[in-house]
Amino acid sequence: MESLLLLLGLLQARRPLPPSSSPVCVSVEVGGQEAPFYPARDGSGRLYFEARPGAAYSVRLRNVTGERVGVALDVDGLNVIDGLPPTGRGRLYILSPYGETLVRGWRSSLSEVHLFTFVDEAASYAARTGQSTRRLGWIEATVFREKAPIAVAEPESLRENSADKAAAAPPAPGAQASRSYPATGWGGTSEDHAVEVAFDAEAVAAQRVTLRYEYRSGLVALGVLPPLVDHLLERDRGFARPPLR
């Protein structure tokens, strides 16, 4: 039996949904708005979304089953709860039946997180703690079912939030990179209370979700988004220009 932490604070009751092969829905909010996902062109199943320099973002996890599930959430190759490269299944967020939560940052204690923010790679949490990997710009959610689950027909609203171990604060940022690629920084603090719970996870993951984020220029270079239209050039060619408002 592993001692983990239960996400409570932002959990909300949801009415039961139809059965799904994927127990958790994963979405991303940038600046408080849900970000559209764009599929990779190589058929890998990865999904891309746009990173906006300096903007805060959050990862929303929603359990669509009547049982508890555990989610190992990694950003830039680091577990968001303890700030370390995952070993085994890594630290887990626990979602109640039909519950959801908004993971807004790196957990620094049982009462606070440091907000996820888009920064250049050299200013990222991973770089500032000496843990940069090839997964800068990646968000990975690995979902585990419970070995002996207790089914719940419909949950009640809960009041507190949670996670597992606290991530260590990074040292002062070093020099900025000469090229601009996005990664996730160590933003300002936000109150986010946590409690420990017991959760015995199955050995094999039930679901894996991989998201990639890039600045718009990167998404255009990858062919995920079309290039921007130069409206001034179009005007010079004698075409109508869009209204200012």
Query: Rounded mean pLDDT of 189-198?
Result: 86
Whole-number pLDDT of residue 44: 82
Query: Rounded mean pLDDT of 121-132?
Result: 96
Identify whether 243 is part of a domain: no
Tell me the two tokens of residue 90: 């890594």
Whole-number pLDDT of residue 3: 35
Report which listed range, 14-28, 114-128, 224-238, is most confident.
Answer: 114-128
Identify whether 88 is part of a domain: yes
Distance (Å, whole) CA 28 – CA 13: 20
Distance (Å, whole) CA 48 – CA 30: 13
Pick the range with the lowest mean pLDDT from 12-21, 97-106, 214-223. Answer: 12-21
Identify whether 245 is part of a domain: no
Identify whether 199 is part of a domain: yes
Share of the chain above pLDDT 70, in %: 73
For residue range 115-124, what is the model confidence (pLDDT) as tens digits? Answer: 999 999 999 9
Identify whether 131 is part of a domain: yes
Identify whether 242 is part of a domain: no
Distance (Å, whole) CA 73 – CA 63: 14
For residue range 133-145, what is the model confidence (pLDDT) as tens digits? Answer: 999 999 999 999 9
Query: Rounded mean pLDDT of 103-126?
Result: 96
Tell me the two tokens of residue 244: 């200012």
Enclosing domain of residue 48: 2-236
Average of per-residue pLDDT values in the chain = 82
Q: How far is CA 122 from CA 172, 182, 189, in A?
A: 11, 9, 21
Query: Rounded mean pLDDT of 14-22?
Result: 50
Tell me the two tokens of residue 10: 């932002």
Distance (Å, whole) CA 188 – CA 201: 32
User: pLDDT grade, residue 8 (50/70/90)?
Assistant: very low
Tell me the two tokens of residue 140: 């990975």
- The angle subtended at Cα 182 by Cα 178 and Cα 188, nearest 5°, is 110
Identify whether 180 is part of a domain: yes
Domain count, the chain: 1
**CA-CA-CA-CA dihedral for 63, 65, 70, 75, to nearest 10:** -30
Whole-number pLDDT of residue 7: 46
Share of the chain above pLDDT 90, in %: 59
Query: Rounded mean pLDDT of 65-75?
Result: 96
Contacts (Cβ under 8 Å, ≥6 apart) of 57: 28, 29, 30, 31, 35, 51, 116, 117, 118
Identify whether 244 is part of a domain: no
Residue 68: closest CA among 198, 159, 203: 198
